[in-house]
Amino acid sequence: MTSSETQPDFDVQLRNAIDSKTKPLGSLGRIEELAFSLGTIYRNLTPRITNPRMLVFAGNHGITESGVSAFPSEVTAQMVLNFISGGAAINVLCRTFGIDLEIVNAGVEFDFPSHSDLVDEPIAASTKNFHLEPAMTAEQVQSAITLGRRRVQAAVDGGSNFILLGEMGIGNTSSAAAITARVTQTSIGVCTGRGTGLTDESLAHKTQVLAEALARHESAVSPLDVLATFGGFEIAAMVGAILQSKELGIPVMVDGYITTSAALIAAGIDATSREVMVFSHRSQEPGHLIALQHLHAYELLNLDLRLGEGSGAALAFPLAKAATEILCDMATFDAAQVSGAIDSAHE
């Protein structure tokens, strides 16, 4: 169904399918809107989520050399080891909710052991320090985007029709803040948060470093230039994952601030990619709300999260699952032989 004439017809059918369920109109609130969004993405009145796949992309950031993080860059590799050993929060959440987990080394300098959950394909050991020079070359950006596309395609080839995104990269809140400030044309001071737990003094230093970087790279304005200048390998890979999800017509659950910065770039490259994005939560990072508002998005959860790893996406996944199951399995008034559909406006 691709023509302009069939789109309204499908939307009407889907809305009617939701409204005809045995409940007052609109009584399931945002779950009904989520059901409508997912039905629209799948182009199916009764979609089923199969084999959901969490893709956690990891990458080192040269910007850490400028003292913007409370943790050293080697923590990125240490956390990847924690992921593949099964001990991180995202491992627990994926096991809890039946989500397949794949860790992708997009750019971490470390000799990782072979593991069934790890795709070890780094673009380089680390990005450059964008305080001084662009983080990535144009070729590296394209390689990272291609990596993200391939991981989504592999998930779909394996039977998945729902992608969740996560990331790991010490320093990547700096990338997210710079990307958000440039794309939304918002002050970097408003977009910069404490990341891994900076003190007031360290936060002021981080903000100053990012302001200097934005001034140094004022000519970077197109989506790909912004990504190359300020992004990380893991952010670029998530851009590719979003673009491939759009191409395949499947939903992608966006996690927090860093993944939303990838969503900003993806939407800049292809505005229609916004149609497959589902936003899991709003993080404590102040710039995240700015990015969400720019994308005209609402979050499913607001739990003061700031962990990353895809943790918010995993926590929101049961809501997506519930929304599709309601579409598939909840009875209609006619089928249940229940009369008198209640208009919520008249309750």
Closest CA to 248 of 320, 153, 166: 153
Closest CA to 72 of 193, 173, 170, 196: 170
Catalytic residue among 33, 309, 325, 347: 309
* CB-based burial label for 205 (10 Å; 0-12, 13-18, 19+): middle
Residue type, 118: L
Q: Does residue 309 have an active-site annotation?
A: yes
CB 106 within 8 A of CB 144: yes
- Sheet of 53-59, strands arranged across: 118-120, 100-107, 53-59, 163-168, 252-254, 277-279
CB 145 within 8 A of CB 226: no
Could you give the 3-state DSSP secondary structure of residue 250? Answer: coil
Q: How far is CA 101 from CA 49, 116, 335, in A?
A: 16, 10, 38
Q: How far is CA 138 from CA 223, 224, 233, 252, in A?
A: 12, 8, 12, 25
CA distance 56 to 233: 12
CB 127 within 8 A of CB 60: yes
The pairing of strands 100-107 and 53-59 is parallel
CB 256 within 8 A of CB 174: no
Does an H or E element contain 211, and which? Answer: helix 200-216
Half-sphere exposure of 181 (CA within 13 A, CB side): 27
The torsion region of residue 67 among left (phi > 0), alpha (psi -120 to 50) and beta comes to left
CB 179 within 8 A of CB 265: yes
**Residues that are catalytic:** 309
